[in-house]
Amino acid sequence: MKENKKGILIVISGFSGAGKGTLVKELLRRHEKDYVLSVSMTTRAPRPGEREGVEYFFTDREHFEETIAHDGLIEYASYCGNYYGTPRVYVEEQLARGRNVILEIEIQGALKIKERFPESLLIFVTPPNAEELKRRLEGRGTESEEAIANRLARAAEESRGVEFYDYLVVNDKLEESAEEVHHLVAAARRAPVRREEFVKEIREELHSFAKGAQK
Ligand code: 5GP
């Protein structure tokens, strides 16, 4: 039986402060072999403690726009005044090697991915309620009041796009949410659209049996 060798592209989005970064880290910690995380390029300034090539590839607008022009990104978007984008080469290489690739990106980028890669899996992560989201954003202590207000306004806008996602995960208990995502991915890999090789093989065999029986 031919298993699907190609990995799947998993998009994880959520309101800023929904805890999606922590959830993705937990998923990678628990299932290190099954996933890789794509590191995005951004024009945003690094936050204290963020490292080049780990959280992001930090760059300026000029270089970002050059990368767009050279088709070096599979998607990009502007978010709160900065560019963010997904470098192409790493994602394509890892998928070909059979790894499931996680993109932690916002909604405009997620929709572009769905358009270009219809077999991708889109998961939206949300806190249990809006009050909790505000509390988490304020508790992070890395952003100004203005930036927090901006992110809350953006969350209100993004809440309109949730229906475009395949699944919604309420991030209440970290370990449970990470396992929930892992199970969703396992189920998604079973869908016929992601098992083309298997479907093709069994179809061809059945057709040849059917021809044989007619003789
Ligand atoms: P932050 O500034 O908090 O790190 O990220 C802001 C938003 O940009 C988050 O929703 C994050 O998921 C999103 N983001 C990060 N990387 C990318 C990317 O490569 N493409 C897109 N479209 N969004 C991204």
pLDDT in tens, 130-186: 898 888 888 877 778 898 888 889 889 888 889 999 999 999 999 999 999 999 999
Structural domains in the chain (count): 1
DSSP reduced 3-state for 143: coil
pLDDT (tens digit, 9 = 90+) per residue, 31-64? 999 999 999 999 999 999 999 999 999 999 999 9
Distance of CA 105 from the midpoint of ligand 1 (Å): 5
**Confidence at residue 76, expressed as pLDDT on a 0 to 100 scale:** 98
Residue 109 lies in a domain: yes
Distance of CA 190 from the midpoint of ligand 1 (Å): 29
Using pLDDT thresholds of 50, 70 and 90, give the confidence band for residue 196.
confident
Distance of CA 132 from the midpoint of ligand 1 (Å): 20
Mean pLDDT of 99-108: 95
Q: What percent of the chain has pLDDT over 90?
A: 73
Could you list the residue range(s) of the whole structural domain that residue 27 is in?
A: 9-39+100-214
DSSP reduced 3-state for 176: helix
Residue 59 lies in a domain: no
Where residue 18 sits, what CATH number does that domain have? 3.40.50.300
Residue 4 lies in a domain: no
**Confidence at residue 141, expressed as pLDDT on a 0 to 100 scale:** 76
Q: Is the pLDDT at 3 greater than 70, yes or no?
A: no
Q: List own/partner pairs for 114-121 with CB under 8 A and 24 or more apart.
A: 114/11, 114/164, 116/74, 116/75, 117/9, 117/74, 118/193, 119/8, 119/9, 119/193, 119/194, 120/8, 120/9, 120/10, 120/11, 121/8, 121/9, 121/10, 121/11, 121/166, 121/167, 121/184, 121/185, 121/188
Residue 51 lies in a domain: no
Q: Which atom of ligand 1 is nearest to the CA of 104?
A: 12
Using pLDDT thresholds of 50, 70 and 90, give the confidence band for residue 12.
very high
- DSSP bridge partners of 117: none
DSSP reduced 3-state for 59: coil
Using pLDDT thresholds of 50, 70 and 90, give the confidence band for residue 1.
low
Using pLDDT thresholds of 50, 70 and 90, give the confidence band for residue 2.
low
Mean pLDDT of 77-95: 95
Mean pLDDT of 184-209: 92
DSSP reduced 3-state for 81: coil
Residue 63 lies in a domain: no
Q: Which residues contact 113 (CB under 8 A, 6 or more apart)?
A: 9, 11, 74, 75, 86, 103, 105, 120, 122
Which residue is closest in CA terms to ligand 1's atom 12? Answer: 105
Exposure of 189 in the CB half-sphere (CA atoms within 13 A): 19
Kindly report the average pLDDT of the chain as a whole number: 92
Residue 153 lies in a domain: yes
Q: Is the pLDDT at 188 greater than 60, yes or no?
A: yes
Residue 122 lies in a domain: yes
**Confidence at residue 4, expressed as pLDDT on a 0 to 100 scale:** 65
Q: Is the pLDDT at 108 greater than 60, yes or no?
A: yes
Identify the residues whose C-beta falls under 6 Å from ligand 1. Answer: 16, 40, 44, 75-77, 79, 84-86, 104-106, 108-109
**Confidence at residue 169, expressed as pLDDT on a 0 to 100 scale:** 96
Residue 73 lies in a domain: no
